[in-house]
Amino acid sequence: MARIHAFTDDALGDDDAVGVAQAIAAGDVSAAEVVEAAIARVDQVDPELGAVALRTYDRARRLATRPRRGVFSGVPTVIKDNVDLAGVPTQHGTDAYVARPARRDGDFAHMFLRTGVIPIAKSQLSEYGFSGAAEHPRLGPVRTPWDPARIAGASSAGSAALVAAGAVPMAHGNDGGGSIRIPASVNGLVGLKPSRDRVAQDAYFRLMPIRLVSDGVLTRSVRDTAAFLREAERLKPNRELRPVGDVRGPNRRRLRIAVCTAADGRSASPEVAELTLKTASVLEELGHRVEEVPAPAPAGVGVDFITYWSLLANLVVRSGGLHGATWDASKLDNLTLGLAHFSTRALPRLPGAVRRLQQMRVTAEEFHSVYDVALTPTVAAETPLVGHLDPTQDYEEIIGRLTAWVAFTPWQNITGQPAISLPLQRTAAGLPQGMMFGAGLGREATLLGLAYELEEAVGFARIQD
């Protein structure tokens, strides 16, 4: 198993985003030097990873001459290719149309750029973000740098692969069913899905009947994730949510933590379940009160989720003509088309499914009135090999494999609550295996404090070691 990374003694070194910004502010390196280092690193690793959708090198070089002020001033990053960046097309990982350059920054990019980051590329994703693996029928799969024979996770895979390989210290992702947390687990990263409406979001996602998607970042350190969330809240506060604030270290309060190794009738693999209980033992040693409990989600919630998720695919297929004369639905992959077809057949069940999904927020609030945090594995089994979730396969084959692997993450998309995947465990094969911690709505500060504590107590594996 050959790992792929670009960590070296250049202007980026192996610093996280906060560290890079501090080095630029101190004059140890310039933004231009850091951007050039990131460009060289992307060009080194991407031929094997397939993580880049589109390069914006010239634009990045111009911005680096006078970087915008902000906590991440001059820090190179990548933005997932399903949000708008002015002057750059947004292709959504599909071949079904030819995108025109966006006229203006979307709401997320507008906020993110105000932190001072410099985008050097847009990252590849699964078609419209529907799959748990970014395996493009024409361009090929996005591979994890930990083992390029395996996938890099869900639709934020391109961003995660580049961060894990050291090409950039932090990258944008969004999460509608686990697409920040799953690639964080696969690639040994910190991935936090914020509470619903915590972070600025493009209109494309805000218009969903149930807003499953939250935007955030993939990082190699808890402090980067905490700094991003602090700045996102400062730039676009939501008065209806409990403030995150400036979290810079562990919680002092001992927490009551529930542990679940099954979800929606599906159990984690024996190895992953054992790693989850191993994490629970660490929490107990740290003084937290830990209790193994059944999952709070009722049986059948996965079917309701797919019923609603398939509606989004149906809307994509039916409204595709809005893209203009280049739209060609025959170029959509089998997962998108299969979901759309399933949605048509499941239409009579949709109102009941939406009603039950909306009621899950009450169930979740009741659960977290008893437990501060829930611990589960992020994904149910070890990272699949490339081809396992190939979207050119039969739809029933893909959806069966997909729902078995990602059984744990959709819960917080349904409820709107925050959850974070931390790279706390490794499989017998040496692959990262993320552990996921969920909390009540608006309780990101609790998750960040616990994440700092575990980062100090356990440490995170580094690909370059």
Write down the catalytic residue from 80, 122, 156, 269: 80
- Nearest Cα to 423, choosing from 166, 221, 216, 157? 221
Is residue 80 flagged as an active site residue? yes
Write down the catalytic residue from 131, 156, 179, 185: 179
Q: Write the DSSP assignment of 291-352 as a string of letters.
A: EE---SSPTTHHHHHHHHHHHHHHHHHHHGGGG-TT--GGGS-HHHHHHHHHHHHHGGGHHH
Strand partners for 170: 219
The CA-based dihedral angle spanning residues 280, 458, 248, 369, taken in that order and rounded to the nearest 10 degrees:
0
For the stretch 140-171, what's the b/e string if a residue is b when 16 or more beta carbons lie within 10 angstroms of its beta carbon? ebbbbbbbbebbbbbbbbbbbbbbbbbbbbbb
Quote the CA–CA distance of 355 and 360 in Å, as a whole number. 9
Is residue 156 flagged as an active site residue? no
| Contact assessment for residue 183 and residue 193, using Cβ atoms and an 8 Å cutoff | no
For the stretch 53-64, what's the b/e string if a residue is b when 16 or more beta carbons lie within 10 angstroms of its beta carbon? bbbbeebbbebb
| Contact assessment for residue 204 and residue 210, using Cβ atoms and an 8 Å cutoff | no
- Nearest Cα to 367, choosing from 377, 375, 356, 379? 375
Q: Hey, what amino acid is at 340?
A: A
Q: For residue 33, with 0-12 CB atoms within 10 Å meaning exposed, 13-18 middle and 19 or more buried, which class applies?
A: middle
Write down the catalytic residue from 123, 155, 221, 343: 155
Is residue 278 flagged as an active site residue? no
Which residues carry out catalysis?
A: 80, 155, 179
